[in-house]
């Protein structure tokens, strides 16, 4: 009797799907058709399938699976930012170009100092450069290039080096490395390419001075490295340099920080100002000698209490800051006044209010001069931009000059170097 196949009308109460019935005759059990259970239904191995489609299909890892003839990794030549990740995908194929599934893929990096790769193809960039990533399956492989690059969200340039922060908070520096200024525990004198600052700190802001740099971490703690001239690292150990970030002493939580030639100043959560390093010519008001640790700067003479500051910038011979709103938001400076950059060149002031009817928005401190920009305090809209001290227009070393700079009036940001100024309109 010839076996017959029929779909019964009864539904399985457990599987809730049609049941395939075999109507048996006298056929030998060894000749009876056999059935294989796939995810879609019970099928005859040669007669029934799980669905249609004209595209190529993966033969699957059956008794005679198709061998892997090639591997294709995508994307090729992708860009990934240092301290970030990128996802790669590997696709094994047979000799006809059909994509194969269920095959084991192994990943490796040929440049592990630049980038590593996980078992799932996720690439992590460690440093900048072009890293080669390999995906292999059954003896076949594909190699792609991942371009790892530095992308800075903040940058600060000092006299002999530059530092920047990535979005991750990692610091990178380049330039002169005397006294460990790059903070990377390097023995060389210079590095023309950026090097990662040691110990894996994550910083929120960074400032570079003449021979040292300082930064604030995510807990608002201050760290400094480089030359500890006059105690400018704030570690409590004067003249002991640091070739990696060293914690500034005390439990201070700082909001801003500025590194100068041989001094550092910062403002804490209460907007009170602290400085450490050189106290030469009243650079640290109320302090006669250098400070190897943060010192709260004294109140101005005849002022009811310590000033609060929203920002402070340090220079070679002066420091300046914009006072907090509670103290009027004025621009105050202190230190060397040899060229009238603060008051009138008659004395080095403990403090001096810059006597301009100005609501300052930004300022800079150079060598023998300061510059500032803002609006008239009276009408709060007329833009003002001036420099005081050495004549910026002629270059003459004439004290007590004040140069109006109408070309940059209304600048939204500005800063100065040793003997030049820049503004962003």
Q: Which residues contact 125 (CB under 8 A, 6 or more apart)?
A: 80, 81, 82, 83, 84, 85, 86, 114, 115, 131, 146, 148, 149
pLDDT band for position 98 (cuts 50, 70, 90): very high
Contact yes or no for 371/418 (Cβ under 8 A): no
Rounded to an integer, the average pLDDT of 412-418 is 90
pLDDT over threshold 70, residue 25: no
Q: What is the pLDDT of residues 279-305, one digit of tens each?
A: 998 999 989 999 999 999 999 988 899
Share of the chain above pLDDT 70, in %: 82
Chain centroid offset of residue 288 CA: 38
| Rg of the Cα atoms in the chain | 35
Residue 189 has pLDDT above 70, yes or no: yes
CA pseudo-torsion sign 282, 288, 292, 295: negative
**pLDDT score recorded for residue 403:** 86
The whole-chain average pLDDT of the chain stands at 86
Judging by beta carbons within 10 Å of its beta carbon (0-12, 13-18, 19+), is residue 258 exposed, middle or buried? Answer: buried
List, for residues 224-238, the tens digit of each pLDDT value.
999 999 999 999 998
**Which of 138, 87, 146, 141 lies closest to 112, judged by CA?**
146
What predicted TM-score, i.e. pTM, was given to this entire model?
A: 0.81
């Amino acid at each position: 009797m010839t076996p017959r196949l029929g779909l019964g009308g009864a539904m399985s109460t457990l599987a809730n799907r049609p049941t395939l019935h075999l109507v048996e005759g006298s056929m030998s059990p060894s000749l009876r058709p056999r059935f294989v259970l796939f995810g879609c239904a019970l099928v005859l191995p040669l007669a029934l399938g799980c669905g249609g489609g004209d595209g190529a299909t993966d033969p699957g890892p059956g008794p005679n699976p198709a061998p892997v003839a090639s591997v294709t990794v995508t994307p090729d030549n992708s860009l990934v930012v240092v301290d970030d990740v990128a996802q790669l995908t590997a696709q094994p194929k047979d000799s006809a170009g059909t994509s194969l599934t269920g095959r084991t893929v192994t990943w490796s990096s040929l440049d592990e100092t630049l980038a590593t790769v996980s078992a799932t193809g996720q690439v992590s960039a460690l440093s900048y450069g072009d890293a080669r990533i390999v995906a292999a399956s059954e003896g076949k492989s594909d190699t792609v290039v991942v371009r790892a690059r530095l992308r800075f969200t903040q940058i600060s340039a000092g006299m002999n080096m530059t530092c920047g922060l990535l979005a991750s908070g990692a610091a990178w520096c380049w330039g002169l490395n005397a006294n460990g200024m790059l903070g990377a525990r390097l023995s060389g004198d210079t590095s023309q390419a950026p090097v990662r600052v040691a110990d894996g700190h994550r910083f929120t802001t960074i400032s570079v001075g003449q021979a040292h740099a300082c930064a604030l971490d995510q807990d608002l703690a201050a760290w400094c490295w480089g030359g500890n001239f006059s105690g400018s690292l704030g570690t409590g150990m004067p003249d002991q340099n640091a070739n990696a970030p060293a914690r500034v002493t005390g439990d201070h939580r700082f909001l801003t920080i500025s590194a100068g030639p041989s001094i550092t100043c910062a403002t804490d959560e209460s907007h009170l100002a602290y400085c450490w390093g050189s106290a030469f010519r009243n650079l640290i008001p109320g302090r006669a000698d250098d400070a190897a640790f943060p010192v709260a700067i004294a109140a101005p003479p005849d002022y009811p209490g310590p000033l609060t500051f929203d920002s402070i910038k340090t220079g070679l011979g002066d420091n300046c800051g914009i006072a907090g709103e509670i103290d009027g938001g004025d621009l105050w400076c202190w230190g060397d006044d040899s060229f009238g950059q603060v008051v009138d060149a008659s004395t080095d002031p403990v403090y001096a209010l810059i006597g301009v009817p100005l609501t300052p928005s930004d300022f800079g401190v150079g060598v023998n001069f300061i510059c500032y920009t803002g609006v008239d305090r009276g009408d709060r809209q007329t833009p003002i931009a001036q420099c005081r001290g050495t004549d910026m227009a002629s270059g003459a070393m004439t004290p007590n000059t004040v140069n109006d700079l109408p070309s940059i009036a209304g600048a939204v940001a500005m800063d100065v170097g040793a003997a030049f100024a820049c503004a962003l309109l």
